[in-house]
Chain A
């Protein structure tokens, strides 16, 4: 069965600090990978996605993620965080083998950015 692990449950950073959130997945086949963000009181929004090609993907709001197949990882990065990045971040995977887009989510990482 697929599973997703996000190592950091709660991260506190000061503005302008760099961010890296870890995500590892467990699945033997080919996957699609996603990062979603949930701002306080809002719905999940897609930050970025990886389906194939260049393993370094760029998303909205200056976020990027790198897919490292050998490590089953898809870490999220941002060089300089802002107070408005305070939110919960979810990594998710979808197995390409089935004819379904169902997502398996990690537990989420709460990011708190101090002004």
Chain B
């Protein structure tokens, strides 16, 4: 089945140690998104790619970066994780930008020690 796959399911990192989360999709969708969801809160959009065009949300900290080397893969890099960055990170895709249905991966739960 076509899907959005996130690895790993759980990730533990140390304070200040760079970490990369990965997302892949078999839907051949043009748009890939990264959302951050803290405990008991709503998902919050960090940034998205429309094809190779990167779109950063205004309030996304500089500590968060993203790469999309090809249509299928997208990475979230946290350069210096702080305790406040512990959260569920959700990857999503849509066929196009605007007025499109979103499909989510199962998420990566990040812990920062």
A and B part of one assembly: no
